[in-house]
Amino acid sequence: MQITPLAPSCGVEITGVQLADAAGATLEAVRQAIYAHGVALLRGQVLSPEEHIAFAQRWGGIDINDYFPLTEEHPEIAVVRKREDQQTNIGGGWHTDHSYDQVPAMGSILVARVLPPAGGDTLFAHMGAAYDSLPDDLKAEIEGLEAFHTADHIYASDGVYAQTDMGGDLRGQGMTTGATHPVAIRHPVTGRRLLYVNPAFTVNIVWRSRADSRPLLDRLFAAAMDPAHQCRVAWEPGSVAIWDNRTSWHYAMNDYQGHAREMHRITLSGEALAA
């Protein structure tokens, strides 16, 4: 197995591994690379839906997504799809999945199934690098603070997606979500300090109004969006990306209008987060 950085601060490409067979020490090495670097890209994978599920089960628990369409034969697999006639895509902004859950998902295993002829890359940003880049006074300011996360404004029947051509494809519009997490967490495995807020789902600092929270959140978001913390995953047939939601943000580029894109995602169970 060979691990090569995708960028100085974020992401790796792993070669010499077939995920359909990965177990034991090989799986553990893949895990540790993702925990540390945020995302791993593996190319040349031959992974059936059944093998996709089996690999996820070897990793740990599977969380069923409440919003995305599910495959009929395999409800563990969420379909991240944009038809050629749609303008809106899923995930077209910086976010980390499931931060609106009190026990957020660890991460995801995303398999490319249908790709446009060009475009549709995914950007990732490393939240450890983002935290390290904060000035000392800002680190001191956020120490001990918690933030409230919700998806209601995104997925509700009157939410962001409902106003677009993607709204009819999604589920769970009647759900109510909400969770509180530290603004800066410690990774439960590596122990690294990580920034844990994101523009999609973090709406306010606890005990502050949204308006009063905006200046601080905007400073943190701007630090996290620094291109120095980012990497780009360029998809091709046979590509699989696995990422850690605690360590990274991601952003699905919507630059392939007139073409379809379909990815199959399994969400990996996580654990409660702590400062």
Mean of the per-residue pLDDT values of the chain: 95
Domain that holds residue 32: 2-268
What number of other Cβ atoms are within 10 A of residue 15's Cβ? 12
pLDDT of residue 270: 96
Respond yes or no: is residue 95 known to be catalytic.
yes
Has 58 been annotated as catalytic?
no
Bridge partners, 240 (sequence order)? 42, 111
What's the CATH code of the domain at 68?
3.60.130.10
Candidates 63, 97, 101, 244; catalytic one: 97
Q: Is residue 274 domain-resident?
A: no
Task: Decide if 275 is inside a domain.
Answer: no
Residue 42 maps to a domain: yes
Q: Is residue 273 part of a domain?
A: no
The tens digit of pLDDT for each residue in 70-95 reads: 888 999 999 999 999 999 999 999 99
Domain presence at residue 204: yes
pTM of the full structure: 0.96
Q: 146: exposed, middle or buried (C-beta count within 10 Å: 0-12, 13-18, 19+)?
A: middle
- Res. 167: pLDDT tops 80: no
Within a domain: 30: yes
For the question of residue 250 being annotated catalytic, the response is yes
Number of H helices, E strands in the chain: 6, 16
Per residue in 114-163, pLDDT (tens digit) is 999 999 999 999 999 999 999 999 999 999 999 999 988 888 777 778 78
Active-site residue among 95, 126, 181, 229? 95
State the catalytic residue, choosing from 31, 250, 261, 264.
250
Handedness of CA 23, 46, 255, 156 (dihedral sign): negative
Please say if 97 is a catalytic residue: yes
Total tally of structural domains belonging to the chain: 1
C-alpha distance across the termini of the chain, in Å? 33
